[in-house]
Amino acid sequence: MIDTFIGFSKVEVEASIPERFEKIVNHYSDRQAVKGKNSILTYRELNQSVNQLAHAILDKRGRGEEPIILICDHDVAVIIGIMGILKTGKAYVSLNPDTPLTRLNYILKDLEAKLIITDKQNLTLVKQLAQHSVSIMNVDEMDQSYPQENLNIVIAPNSLCNIVYTSGSTGQPKGVMRDSRMILHRVYTDTNDLQIKASDRFTMLTSSAFTSSTSDIFNALLTGGTLCVGSILERGLNWLTQWLIDEKITILRLPVSLFQQWIETLTAKDQFPDLRYISPGGKFYKKDIEKIKRHISDRCYVVQKLASSETSLITRLVISSPTEIKGNNVPVGYAKEGKDVFLVDDSGKRLGFNQIGEITVKSRYISQGYWRNPELTNKKFLPTTDGSDERIYLTGDLGRMQPDGCLEWIQRKDFMLKIRGYRVEPSEIEGALLDIEGIRQAVVVGVSDLSGEIRLAAYIVPKQGFTPEIKLIRAALVEKLPSYMIPSKFVILETLPTTTNSKIDRSKLPPIDWSLPDVDNSFMPPRNSLETEILEIWESVLQLSRISINDNFIELGGSSIQAMQIVSRVLEKFYINLSPNLLLESATVAAMADKIIQYQIQLTSEIDIEKMLDEIEQLP
């Protein structure tokens, strides 16, 4: 029965997420629903925990729509939190615990939420965030006397169920509102397109704070599949390879930058016979498809798509062996049911085939708009002229429609960037830079590094008499922005180039030299062969020359993905069985070398002790 495709009816799109989930619980009560670091819950057990939390929320807040904040570790608790909130008819707002406090405080103030749900690992953080009017609920200390039965609350299709905060052009993040109908339509589309069955096993490798996690969670839990929660950041790329095999993962979704890094680590022996679909989140190329095909079966498909927080899935291209890709760029595919996709020029006029214009979506299955921001909502979401409940969303992406209806993505229309799969508004980073005392002007752009990856570069003009220290500037940004929004390179200028009408001319900004590090420290060369070998790995991954053994990884512009790549290579190079997290804590080449030496000393000591004990046992 679990290998039989049941499907998802169009009628259920107008139901609710809890209603569909409870139907699945009844069908597959004893099947694994979610598997985390140290725990596994069946659908019955998950539903019981979810119901207890939902009853506790209602006891605290009563009925009625409102946003509930969720700050939990990337594990089973976050799934219980999401489903528990949805069962009450309220909206969940999942926030990453690693988000800078300044950003978290802004979101809390913007939401005016009255309840934060957390776990024991993040209780201290949440207590620091919560004001007197905000209640806290710890899922690890739930009152077990709350009922485990379903609540049977009627939830309308257009009820708000999720708010996702993304980078905003005003310098502050904006909340994208997503209703039940929008999310269920995505599950309906994915389930039927990809023939999802209860036997499928899904990955959840990114934080529930990101939009992409919703397809992981609900595609699994609303079809009877198993959601396997894991963290590449904690365990490394080498772990991912074996984990996919051990867990018999069938549907893999991960950010495109991680996907591209991961396939570079694969060897001929790494084969994934269970995989059915691989969906990298972001732009990838024909060469990436050719690389992964060496490690998957003919029945595994690679999926390219176009989606956003505001629209969910727009187009999709399912790539099989016979699929012909012309050139290196992979098109984003064909419009999905319920999404009318077309291109417009600057005046709003519809364009024909093979013309470049702004990608526009007309649908009833898109966002309601931005939380408490009617001005931006009215600007980006336009009403239709026929009086229907459909809306028109201007994506800000430029594309070209092929005669057969296949869409090519060209680039962003404005200055918005995609960095490591995340949408980034440069103006938000520029605003954070201008908040730093001593900085007069700042421009942030995306620049291709030596490998062709887009990375952030900041051009700064200091105030007169101020000598900026890149180390301090970067530290100030870390306090306010997520890691993927920290520029990899900083350039100090006396003035910014301008056009004839005095606007900043980004095309005239000086080129970036990616080979030299951005550090203020004096240079110290490696002192031994171990540091030399580690340094070579750092220089190769970071694409830098003349790195000092005391240069800080973050100050060198390193990203979390590059950190994992370095750790993976170090573990492989020195044949050591160290936790990736321990090496990730090493901010310099010297510190990483020390960690390895400590490990080798400890290992040698353990071997000596075992040898001595063996000798003692053999004494007469």
**From-to residues of CATH 1.10.1200.10 in the chain:** 529-609
* pLDDT for 404: 95
57 vs 560, higher pLDDT: 57
Tokens of 277: 């679909």
47 vs 556, higher pLDDT: 47
pLDDT at 450 over 70: yes
* pLDDT for 618: 59
* pLDDT for 579: 65
94 vs 130, higher pLDDT: 94
Per the CB < 8 A criterion, the answer to whether 216 and 196 are in contact is no
Per the CB < 8 A criterion, the answer to whether 225 and 197 are in contact is yes
Q: What's the whole-model pTM score? A: 0.80
Per the CB < 8 A criterion, the answer to whether 274 and 225 are in contact is no
pLDDT at 592 over 80: yes
Per the CB < 8 A criterion, the answer to whether 364 and 441 are in contact is no
Tens digits of per-residue pLDDT, 240-255? 999 999 999 999 999 8
The predicted model gives 474-484 an average pLDDT of: 89
Confidence of residue 605 (pLDDT cuts 50, 70, 90): low
* pLDDT for 500: 61
pLDDT at 1 over 70: no
Task: Give me the helix-helix angle, 256-265 and 237-246, nearest 10°.
Answer: 90
Q: HEC profile for 549-560?
A: CCCCCCCCCCCH
pLDDT at 620 over 90: no
* pLDDT for 31: 96
- Kind and range of the H or E element at 565? helix 560-574
Distance between CA atoms of residues 204 and 376, nearest Å: 31
Q: How many residues does the chain have?
A: 620
Per CATH, is 529-609 categorized as 3.30.230.10? no
pLDDT-wise least confident of 207-216, 312-321, 349-358, 463-472: 463-472
* pLDDT for 435: 86
Across 142-146, 339-343, 508-512, which has the greatest mean pLDDT? Answer: 339-343
Fold held by 425-508: GMP Synthetase; Chain A, domain 3 (3.30.300)
Confidence of residue 543 (pLDDT cuts 50, 70, 90): confident
Minimal CA–CA distance to 185: which of 342, 361, 66, 17?
A: 17
Average per-residue pLDDT for the chain: 89
* pLDDT for 111: 96
pLDDT at 76 over 60: yes
Tens digits of per-residue pLDDT, 347-371? 999 999 999 999 999 999 999 999 9
pLDDT at 220 over 80: yes
* pLDDT for 549: 86
Distance between CA atoms of residues 121 and 567, nearest Å: 25
Distance between CA atoms of residues 257 and 508, nearest Å: 28
Q: How far is CA 64 from CA 59, 138, 441, in A?
A: 12, 21, 46
Which DSSP letter does residue 484 get?
G
Beta-carbon contacts of residue 617 (< 8 Å; ≥ 6 apart): none
Tokens of 275: 């995989």
The predicted model gives 401-410 an average pLDDT of: 94
pLDDT at 619 over 70: no
The residue whose two tokens read 């990483």 is 592
pLDDT at 105 over 70: yes
State the Rg of the chain over Cα.
25
Q: How far is CA 149 from CA 42, 47, 55, 243, in A?
A: 16, 8, 9, 34
Tens digits of per-residue pLDDT, 8-51? 999 999 999 999 999 999 999 999 999 999 899 999 999 999 99
356 vs 619, higher pLDDT: 356
Backbone φ and ψ for 326, nearest 5 degrees, come out as: -90, 125
Tens digits of per-residue pLDDT, 269-310? 999 999 999 999 888 888 889 999 999 999 999 999 999 999
**From-to residues of CATH 3.30.300.30 in the chain:** 425-508
pLDDT at 261 over 90: no
pLDDT-wise least confident of 118-127, 168-177, 251-260: 168-177
pLDDT at 484 over 70: yes
251 vs 595, higher pLDDT: 251
Confidence of residue 501 (pLDDT cuts 50, 70, 90): low
Burial class for 423, CB neighbours closer than 10 Å (0-12, 13-18, 19+): middle
